[in-house]
């Protein structure tokens, strides 16, 4: 099963490009972020004509997450327990929940597509929101792993964190900025501490997943690695190959992010000796 994640930066603006890529690259399941539309605005027909069903969670022209799959999707969830909200308080005093998380189960594999809050600036309320969002997600993930230790799980998407210095082209440019701060990196590391791992990096140790549109960032390769597939041990044991599709940043009207892809060998036996040894 070929699984991918891609911040498409407006699906209505890039539907042709996304569907063409899905078909050309023979992708079974794609988790998308920043679809930037409500369900009534989503271009379902183009996906359906290509053989993909879509489930999504989109509330307005901001954020939004979706899955496109050629395989049946079950147990759909558009929030996780304890997910913080942000913005103007509602009538009951609670904060509105944004469209940033969507979970499905495909062929026994639990997948989440996530659009982690950006944070904006270290002194912005959005930064505290980002840290709280990641903390609650980690807590719920830990509980899920304890309840379902044998089911493969992957949290994938735009994490808006560069966990290593090498994940940005020039660390000095980010001094005093978000994405590389110690609290953000600690929040990311918390997922590794509870049993998840970056299943792509062992196979693709270098490479960026995002380049800003400004200042010729892509031609200069001034990018960031902020899109990840974080898998549980049972998920990691299924990974046969992985790649970052850098070429999708080229051409007309690309997203500022590119797809990250893993191939899963769902026929792998329960014998550890027969499973990929990339995490040994």
Q: The domain that contains 36 carries what CATH number?
A: 3.60.10.10
Mean per-residue pLDDT for 63-67? Answer: 98
In whole angstroms, what is the distance from residue 65 CA to residue 103 CA? 10
Q: Is the pLDDT of residue 70 over 90?
A: yes
Report yes or no on 280 lying in a domain: no
Q: Is the pLDDT of residue 18 over 50?
A: yes
Q: Is the pLDDT of residue 145 over 80?
A: yes
Report yes or no on 204 lying in a domain: yes
- C-alpha distances out from residue 236 to 1, 55, 109, 241, 279, Å: 13, 25, 11, 11, 8
Task: Output the pTM of the full model.
Answer: 0.95
Q: How long is the chain?
A: 280
Mean per-residue pLDDT for 4-23? Answer: 98
Q: Is the pLDDT of residue 278 over 90?
A: no
Report yes or no on 198 lying in a domain: yes
User: How large a percentage of the chain has pLDDT more than 90?
Assistant: 95
What burial class does residue 194 get, using C-beta atoms within 10 Å of its C-beta: 0-12 exposed, 13-18 middle, 19+ buried? Answer: middle
Q: Where are the alpha helices (DSSP H) in 101-172?
A: 125-147
- At 219, give phi and psi (nearest 5°): -55, -30
Q: Is the pLDDT of residue 157 over 70?
A: yes
Task: Render pLDDT for 87-143 as a digit per residue (tens, 0 to 9).
Answer: 999 999 999 999 999 999 999 999 999 999 999 999 999 999 999 999 999 999 999
CA 178 to chain centre: 18
Q: What residues does 229 pair with on adjacent strands?
A: 156
Task: Render pLDDT for 172-186 as a digit per residue (tens, 0 to 9).
Answer: 999 999 999 999 999
Report yes or no on 279 lying in a domain: no
Q: What is the pLDDT of residue 269?
A: 46
Query: Which domain does 37 fall in, by range?
Result: 2-274
Report yes or no on 52 lying in a domain: yes
Report yes or no on 162 lying in a domain: yes
Helix axes 125-147, 182-193, angle to 10 degrees: 10
Q: What residues does 67 pair with on adjacent strands?
A: 31, 55
Q: Is the pLDDT of residue 160 over 60?
A: yes
Domain count, the chain: 1
Nearest to 68, CA basis, from 18, 12, 1: 18
Which string of b and e fits 162-171 if b means at least 16 CB within 10 Å?
bbeeebbbee
Task: Render pLDDT for 221-276 as a digit per residue (tens, 0 to 9).
Answer: 999 999 999 999 999 999 999 999 999 999 999 999 999 999 999 986 454 444 44
Q: Is the pLDDT of residue 67 over 90?
A: yes
Contact 41, 68 (CB under 8 A): no
Mean pLDDT across the chain, nearest whole number? 95
Count of Cβ atoms closer than 10 Å to residue 250 Cβ: 10
């Amino acid at each position: 099963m070929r699984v991918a994640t891609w911040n498409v930066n407006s699906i209505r603006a890039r539907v042709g490009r996304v569907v063409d890529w899905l078909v050309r690259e023979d992708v079974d399941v794609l988790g998308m972020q920043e679809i930037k539309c409500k369900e009534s605005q989503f271009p379902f027909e183009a996906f359906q004509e290509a053989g993909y069903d879509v489930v999504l969670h989109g509330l307005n022209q901001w954020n939004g997450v979706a899955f496109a799959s050629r395989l049946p999707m079950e147990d759909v969830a558009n929030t996780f327990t304890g997910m913080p909200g942000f913005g103007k308080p509602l009538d009951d005093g609670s904060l509105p929940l944004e469209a940033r998380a969507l979970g499905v189960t495909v062929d026994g594999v639990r997948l989440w597509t996530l659009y982690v809050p950006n944070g904006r600036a270290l002194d912005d309320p959005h930064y505290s929101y980002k840290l709280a969002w990641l903390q609650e997600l980690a807590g719920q993930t830990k509980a899920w792993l304890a309840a379902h230790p044998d089911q493969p799980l992957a949290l994938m998407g735009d994490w808006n964190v560069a966990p290593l210095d090498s994940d940005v082209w020039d660390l000095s440019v980010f001094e005093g900025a978000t994405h590389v701060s110690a609290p953000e990196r600690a929040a990311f590391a918390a997922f590794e501490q509870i049993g998840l791992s970056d299943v792509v990096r062992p196979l693709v140790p270098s490479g960026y997943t995002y380049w800003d549109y400004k200042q010729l960032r892509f031609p200069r390769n001034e990018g960031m690695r902020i899109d990840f597939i974080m898998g549980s041990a049972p998920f990691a044991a299924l990974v046969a190959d992985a790649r970052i599709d850098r070429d999708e940043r080229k051409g007309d009207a690309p997203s500022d992010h590119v797809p990250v892809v893993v191939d899963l060998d769902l026929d792998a036996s329960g014998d550890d000796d027969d499973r990929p040894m990339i995490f040994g």
